[in-house]
Amino acid sequence: MIKRKSILLLLVPFLLNLVFCVNFITAVQNDISKRVDIDRSNIPKNILFGSFMGGRSHVKPMLDIATILAERGYNVILLASGNNVLSSEYPAVKQISLGPGMGMKNLGKDGIDEEQDYNAMKSLWEMGVISYKRTYEKYKSVVEDYNIDLIFCDLLINEACIDVANTLKKPVVVLVSALQIVDPKPYKFDPILGCNISLENESIWERFRCNFIQVFRYVYSLSDFTNQLNEMRKQMNVDLGQLTLGGFKASLVLIDTFFGFELPQTLPPYIQEIGPILSEEYPPLTPELSDFINGHERVLYVSFGTLYSTTTDNNSKLLQSFIEAINKKIIDGVVWALVETPKDYFYPTLKLSDGTQIQSSQILNNEHPHIHIAEFVPQFAILNHTNTKLFFNHGGAGSAHESLYTGTPMLVLPFAGDQMGNAQKLVSAGVASSLKLTTLDVNDILNKMDSLLKEENVKNNSERLKVLAKINSKRKYRAADLIEYILHSSSFVEYVDDDFLKEWVPAETRMGFIRAYNLDIYAILIGIALSIIGIIVVKLIKFIGFIISPSSDDQKSKKD
């Protein structure tokens, strides 16, 4: 009786915890979209946005937040690799180049399997380490020249940005599109680590393999880079002691995603979900595209982003499956944004399943009435058109967000990085099917297209997620609000002070894991329980021994 009571008592803090966690989640998701009326006269005003990767997909979400802050009277500067990415679409933001743009154009050319994907990640890291010093100095000089008060860093390969902020004692806000790196959970993984996105239904061995073996392999494989990076950091007088477990220290981490697409988990207050970040305005359809899409009822839109393309063999298979899909009336039109794929990356003649031969040059020169090849496309406008029924893409976060926002089901062919994980997330959300570069097959593509277009489930899930994406797309204003709060707060509490932003840091980070989760108490209780059991067992053995062989027998046998 007593035992049962004490177990219940132990459970109370856990139950309370559960209740509060749930309340907390709903509190975070409440959106403050109305104009906040705060006195901005004495708030520090200069904000730097930094991205080492540069490129549309990394820079665009930053510029969307920067634009809101510019409208509120802040001076915003973007420092990114490449030259004036998107500067015509975002004139309010001053842009400075961090160096040459990062091309990943040829990533898919030799085909990619999981091992190669890993290598692609490694070469990115290498690039980051090699250019660390140059990048660090550039960030530092801009921060000093423009008297920057807060630094907003894209997380990917951008250690220099965060290090400069911490060294110069400036608050730093980090933006990333997946939670895996910033708040890892033992039940959520990524195909980059060779594991499923969710370990919910995996065996104990699989959970062990992912959580220990795979994580260890990954950390080990990157250890050279980590060491080189830390060496560079020492040379630049970066204090390595301030780096926390995730490898960086930030005042606030913003996640450009939303639960529904991302798998649910709890988050501490200094990590906030603010995605999907979408622009206010998008370029409209060109007259040519508008005519094409209006003239077809079931259009497939194909785009693998601005960075990726694949082999001649695979490209030809893709083109062949589009022609056959039209012939089989699965779709009636295709718009393919061939941005990075040169037109000679196709076999000159395509042989269809029924034996017909087709010259690919005819199609690539737009002589096919139902296939439109374009070099630049206003992606959002195409997806937003009611006749666009399916989006064939590479699983980039930006494309996935736009597709979810417009309720367009997806066929995903991931190339690298977070795309494998995004593909799995979209499939598990019930709005997509995924393909593999290594096993591309025309019939498989046709079957998947057909069922994505026919299945009622897919339609329903797309409609459901569309609403969720729309509601959540307002949260870029919340991101701007939070940045304003940090600046506001920094004018009252010294940034170096331990009390700065203490309101967002749960006690557990100060208490340590053992105390925060009462592990010390459990250890004592288990100790006590084991001692009691031990005493009982010893007594029992003595007692049994006494019954079986009373001491007189014992002595007899010894004499024998």
Ligand X SMILES: *[C@@H]1O[C@H](CO)[C@@H](O)[C@H](O)[C@H]1NC(C)=O
Where does this chain bind ligand X (CB under 6 A)? Answer: 110-111, 195-196, 198, 200-201, 282, 311, 313-314, 317, 381, 384, 437-438, 440, 456-457, 460
Closest CA to 301 of 452, 184, 194: 452
Identity of the residue, 77 or 318, whose beta carbon is nearer to ligand X in the bound complex: 318
Task: Find residue 176's DSSP bridge partners.
Answer: 255
Pairing of β 388-393 and β 410-412: parallel
* Contact (CB, 8 A) for 192 and 210: no
Of 282 and 485, nearer to ligand X (C-beta) is 282
Phi/psi for 7 (5° steps) reads -65, -45
Using an 8 Å Cβ cutoff, are 152 and 250 in contact?
no
Q: In what order do the strands lie in the sheet with 432-434?
A: 371-374, 333-337, 299-303, 388-393, 410-412, 432-434
Closest distance between ligand X and the C-beta of residue 460, in Å?
A: 4
CB of 124 to ligand X, least distance (A): 20
Complex with ligand X: residue 56 or 464, whichever CB lies closer: 464
Contact 183, 268 (CB under 8 A): yes
Residue facing ligand X at closest CB distance: 111
- Residue with Cβ nearer ligand X (57 or 198): 198
Tell me the C-alpha distance between 448 and 421, whole Å: 19
CB of 209 to ligand X, least distance (A): 9
> Measured from the CB of residue 429, what is the shortest distance to ligand X in angstroms?
11
367, 363, 330, 360: which is closest to 346 by C-alpha?
360
Question: Which CB atom, from 270 or from 405, has the smaller least distance to ligand X?
Answer: 405
Of 214 and 228, which has the nearer Cβ to ligand X? 214
CB closer to ligand X out of 135 and 310: 310
Between 419-428 and 397-405, two packed helices, what is the crossing angle to 10 degrees?
A: 30
- How far apart are CB 22 and ligand X at their closest, in Å? 19
Residue 112 Cβ, how far from ligand X at the closest point, in Å? 8
Whole-angstrom Cα distance, residue 345 to residue 317? 11
| Closest of 249, 196, 223 to residue 122, by C-alpha | 223
**Closer CB to ligand X, residue 252 or residue 445?**
445
Look up residue 24 and give its two tokens.
Answer: 């907390």
Minimum distance, C-beta of residue 282 to ligand X, in the bound complex (Å): 5
Q: Do 78 and 49 meet the contact criterion of CB atoms below 8 Å apart? A: yes
- Give 317 or 475: the residue with its C-beta nearer to ligand X: 317
d(CA 21, CA 27): 10
CB 196 to ligand X: min, Å: 4
**Shortest distance, CB of residue 221 to ligand X, whole angstroms?**
18
Q: Which residue, 472 or 490, has its beta carbon nearer to ligand X? A: 472
Residue 196 is classified by DSSP as: -
Give me 22's structure tokens.
Answer: 């749930």
What is the spatial distance between Cα 451 and Cα 158, in angstroms, rounded to a whole number? 41
Pick the closer one to ligand X by CB: 126 or 206.
Answer: 206
CB of 257 to ligand X, least distance (A): 17
Q: In angstroms, rounded to a whole number, what is the distance separating the alpha carbons of residues 207 and 202?
A: 7
Q: Which amino acid is at 539?
A: K
Question: Bridge partners of 460?
Answer: none
C-alpha 400/C-alpha 419 separation (Å) is 10
Residues for the chain: how many in total? 560
Q: How far is the CB of 420 from ligand X (least distance, A)?
A: 10
Residue 309 Cβ vs ligand X, minimum distance, rounded to whole Å: 11
CB-count exposure of residue 418 (10 Å: 0-12, 13-18, 19+): buried
Cis peptide before 191 (omega within 30 of 0): no
User: In this structure, what are the phi and psi dihedrals at residue 396, rounded to the nearest 5 degrees?
Assistant: -65, 145
Judged by CB, which is closer to ligand X: 337, or 420? 420
